[in-house]
Amino acid sequence: LALAGLLVLLAAAVAGLALVIPVWAAALVVGGVVLAVGYALVMKGMGALQHLDPVPERTVQTMKDNQTWVKEQMP
């Protein structure tokens, strides 16, 4: 539903801009703005992912603790 709303808003932006410039140019401008915003969001997301540590440290420590416990339980 949100995607449909976004598409309606983009169509309204094209229609509004088409009052001043040709329709093809309005669509090109709105498409370019959407592309630029999307690119910026992807770059921001990629930057945020680079700072994440993919190793689940707590899980690794728990597995080591479990291994130690199992070894202690064996006769």
DSSP symbol at 54: -
pTM of the model: 0.66
CA dist 49 and 52 (Å) reads 5
d(CA 34, CA 23): 16
**Domain housing 64:** 2-73
Q: 33-58: per-residue pLDDT in tens?
A: 999 999 999 999 999 998 888 889 99
pLDDT per residue as tens digits for the range 6-28: 999 999 999 999 999 999 999 99
- The answer to whether residues 17 and 30 touch, using CB atoms and an 8 Å cutoff, is yes
How many domains, the chain? 1
DSSP 8-state class, residue 52: -
